[in-house]
Amino acid sequence: MFAADCAQAEIHDPQLKAAYKTCHDYLRSTSAEEFWCLQLMPPALRPAGWALLAAYSLADDLADTTEGDGSQRLREWREALDTDLRHGTSEDPVRQALVHTMWCWNLKTAAFDVTFTALEKDALRTAPAAATWQQWRTRSKDTNVPFMLQCLTMLRHAGLDIPLHLTRLDAYQRLSDGLFLTDSLTDLADDLDRGDITLPTEELHRFGVCETDLLQHRWTPAVQALISHLLNTARTWLDQPQLWTGLPPGPAVVLRTGCTLYRARLHAAEKAGPALLQHAARPTLAARLRITGPGRLLAATTWRLFPLPELRTAPPPTRPVLPAPRTASPELPQPPEPHADGVRPPALPAECMPRHVAIIMDGNGRWATARGLPRNDGHKAGGKALVDVVHGAAEIGLPHLTVYLLSTENLEKRPPQEIDKLLTFAREQLESRDFLRYDVRIRWAGLPDGLPSDFVDLLRTNQAATEDRTGLTLTFCLNYGGRSELTQAADSLASAARTGQLQGTRVSEHLLRSHLPLGDLPDVDLLWRTGGEQRISNFLPWHTAYAELLFTDKLWPDIDRRDLWKAMTQYSHRHRRYGAAPASQPVVPAQEARLGTSG
């Protein structure tokens, strides 16, 4: 079977085959359920799956080994991968297969960065630290989502585009959580051996479980109740038929069977009882075969009836997009470019500086029309204006700049040619990796639905590549809608309530905010719209609730950093009261006050 899969994937070189064999055997012995799930994919895709999954599971092992510095080992492995990717091969078998896979399928390294960074952070912990649900969920996302996205990219290259539906974001997260919780429960004994508690603290408290009992592998009634509750929770999260009913037939069989395999692990954990604290729980061979036997038959028939549209042969190897080489002492980001005229930012008193400026960059179309040019030329000129404003923001030391590039309404209502051009300009900017040279952290807010998936990848890659930057946070609102953002928060809250994570909790502003996609973005201090219109156009309704508003007439392409500094200077003269009375005015008129004191 191994040889046949390699032949289908056009892997003929003996050394390369040996590298894939290492991944294949490693997974088969360490991650049987995941391995058998990969075997449900069309044969030509399986070797790539082995390489990817072997790399992720090896990373987990590197982080978990108790001897030495796990984070250092991870960093070295990741750096070696960058070097190997440049050379197109490796001395290390897992990396050799991985490099070949990444070249063939043009996969980005950013996905590894997300997982490796999360694992590095975990490995740095010295004391056992249980995580809150929120931290636990971030770990779940960082561990599972990059691998899932890479699988989706491969399917897309094979002609099967599976769009991620916004309305199902919660269901995707629950699936990732279900897989992660199953791992946490079935591998509990190993984690406890390392002094690690991988179950959420809120649940430990709710069931009155004492951490020491767990760490000493004591099966108390409280531990038993906690485990039983979490097993049920994981089971519910893995049982979401709506996820596979909406998928094309092939991926649907893979996902459904994969979830069944994971549920079998939960069943094994349940049967293990107190032994769950002593060793990892896995389904028996017979139990696994009962699932994978029919699963493989069904998958083979389904892929024959509904083959991958463009998978005739493996795609030709292409060099993946690589980040700049990492060096032992990473180069410091460059300072922002000065303005061509040598103008310098005004010195605003620190207490009058806005922390967060948000801009509705309006007027591109009118600017072009006034010059007898097509609207697209206005968008191109607008792009240049934005670059200057970003440098100006970094120069004056603004911590947060959020810019409205495209609203959900724009995407729906403007001609496709205009949207296409707008995205092309944005794509050129992102691909040039220009902002990456400066201390700028790029973030994207908006919906993936309706955007080309490689463009979404590009946004995410830029986001991941700049995640650790501490200078200006530049948030691109692109295919963004404020009402949709609030609706997502409400939906996420409702689902948290449904799955019992909000028990006894009232909905506070803090809680609602924590469910917003941009919950950690600070409130906007200054909302500035150029182009003469005076409206908000569905921009950041939550974050601008107390923003100072500024509407100026100049059209966006005519703007440069000096206008930003002027806007910030105007802001510095505003008096913000947040509902209080002006400090300089008496609360009651002088006459009444006098009467009051004399009577």
Residues that bind Mg ion (CB under 5 A): 362
**Within 502-541, which residues bind ligand IPE (CB under 6 A)?**
531, 535, 537
Partner touching 422 among ligand IPE, Mg ion, none, CB below 5 to 8 Å by kind: ligand IPE
Q: Which residue in 111, 118, 311, 422 binds ligand IPE (CB under 6 A)?
A: 422
Residue 364 interacts with ligand IPE (CB under 6 A)? yes
The whole-angstrom separation of Cα 468 and Cα 462 is 12
Q: How far is the CB of 394 from ligand IPE (least distance, A)?
A: 22
* Residue 531 dihedral angles phi and psi, to the nearest 5°: 90, 5
Judged by beta carbon, residue 135 or residue 369, the one nearer ligand IPE is 369
Q: Which residue in 200, 336, 354, 365 binds ligand IPE (CB under 6 A)?
A: 365
The whole-angstrom separation of Cα 230 and Cα 203 is 9
Partner touching 488 among ligand IPE, Mg ion, none, CB below 5 to 8 Å by kind: none
The whole-angstrom separation of Cα 85 and Cα 96 is 9
Judged by beta carbon, residue 401 or residue 422, the one nearer ligand IPE is 422
Judged by beta carbon, residue 47 or residue 481, the one nearer ligand IPE is 481
Query: Tokens 């003269």 identify what position?
Result: 573
Structure tokens at 33: 């359920």
Question: Is 375 annotated as ligand-binding?
Answer: yes
Structure tokens at 564: 């930003």
Judged by beta carbon, residue 122 or residue 362, the one nearer Mg ion is 362
Q: Which residue is nearest to ligand IPE (CB)?
A: 365
Output DSSP code: residue 355. Answer: S
The answer to whether 121 and 142 are in contact (CB under 8 A) is no
Q: How far is the CB of 359 from ligand IPE (least distance, A)?
A: 8
How many residues in total does the chain contain? Answer: 599
Question: Is 90 annotated as ligand-binding?
Answer: no
Bridge partners, 478 (sequence order)? 406
Give residue 341's Cα distance to chain centre: 39
Query: Tokens 């979401």 identify what position?
Result: 240
Within 10 angstroms of residue 191's Cβ, the number of other Cβ atoms is 20
Judged by beta carbon, residue 407 or residue 475, the one nearer ligand IPE is 407
Residue 167, H or E segment = none
Partner touching 404 among ligand IPE, Mg ion, none, CB below 5 to 8 Å by kind: ligand IPE
Q: How far is the CB of 430 from Mg ion (least distance, A)?
A: 23
The whole-angstrom separation of Cα 57 and Cα 194 is 17
Judged by beta carbon, residue 56 or residue 444, the one nearer ligand IPE is 444
Window of 180-188, 208-216, 322-330, 362-370 that interacts with ligand IPE by CB under 6 A: 362-370
Collapsed DSSP state (helix, strand, coil) of residue 529: strand
Residue 410 interacts with ligand IPE (CB under 6 A)? yes
Residue 254, H or E segment = helix 249-272
The answer to whether 190 and 121 are in contact (CB under 8 A) is no
Residue 220, H or E segment = none
Q: How far is the CB of 515 from ligand IPE (least distance, A)?
A: 25
Q: How far is the CB of 191 from ligand IPE (least distance, A)?
A: 47
Question: Is 366 annotated as ligand-binding?
Answer: yes
Give residue 195's Cα distance to chain centre: 28
492 CB-side CA count, 13 A = 20
The answer to whether 376 and 390 are in contact (CB under 8 A) is no
Residue 71 interacts with ligand IPE (CB under 6 A)? no
N- to C-terminal Cα separation, the chain: 100
Q: Which residue in 49, 363, 392, 446 binds ligand IPE (CB under 6 A)?
A: 363
Q: How far is the CB of 362 from Mg ion (least distance, A)?
A: 4
Judged by beta carbon, residue 368 or residue 440, the one nearer Mg ion is 368
Residue 176 interacts with ligand IPE (CB under 6 A)? no
Residue 252 interacts with ligand IPE (CB under 6 A)? no
Question: Is 318 annotated as ligand-binding?
Answer: no
Question: Is 196 annotated as ligand-binding?
Answer: no
Collapsed DSSP state (helix, strand, coil) of residue 474: strand
Judged by beta carbon, residue 40 or residue 358, the one nearer ligand IPE is 358
Question: Is 78 annotated as ligand-binding?
Answer: no
The answer to whether 354 and 526 are in contact (CB under 8 A) is yes
The whole-angstrom separation of Cα 201 and Cα 210 is 10
What burial class does residue 331 get, using C-beta atoms within 10 Å of its C-beta: 0-12 exposed, 13-18 middle, 19+ buried?
exposed
Q: Which residue is nearest to Mg ion (CB)?
A: 362
Window of 28-36, 130-138, 267-275, 401-409 that interacts with ligand IPE by CB under 6 A: 401-409
Window of 246-254, 275-283, 355-363, 583-591 that interacts with ligand IPE by CB under 6 A: 355-363
Strands 440-445 and 400-407: unpaired
Q: How far is the CB of 371 from ligand IPE (least distance, A)?
A: 12
Which positions are annotated as active-site residues? 362, 410
Within 10 angstroms of residue 48's Cβ, the number of other Cβ atoms is 28
Partner touching 364 among ligand IPE, Mg ion, none, CB below 5 to 8 Å by kind: ligand IPE
Question: Is 178 annotated as ligand-binding?
Answer: no
Give the interface size with ligand IPE as a residue count (CB under 6 A): 17
Question: Is 537 annotated as ligand-binding?
Answer: yes
> In three state form, how does the secondary structure of 185-197 look?
HHCHHHHHHCCCC
Collapsed DSSP state (helix, strand, coil) of residue 236: helix
Q: Which residue in 38, 254, 360, 440 binds ligand IPE (CB under 6 A)?
A: 360
Q: Which residue in 366, 437, 513, 562 binds ligand IPE (CB under 6 A)?
A: 366
Question: Is 529 annotated as ligand-binding?
Answer: yes
Within 10 angstroms of residue 337's Cβ, the number of other Cβ atoms is 17
Partner touching 407 among ligand IPE, Mg ion, none, CB below 5 to 8 Å by kind: ligand IPE
Structure tokens at 352: 């009058």
Which positions touch ligand IPE (CB under 6 A)? 360-366, 404-407, 409-410, 422, 531, 535, 537
Annotated binding site for Mg(2+): 362, 548
Annotated binding site for substrate: 363-367, 375, 379, 407-409, 414, 529, 535-537
Annotated binding site: 362-367, 375, 379, 407-409, 414, 529, 535-537, 548
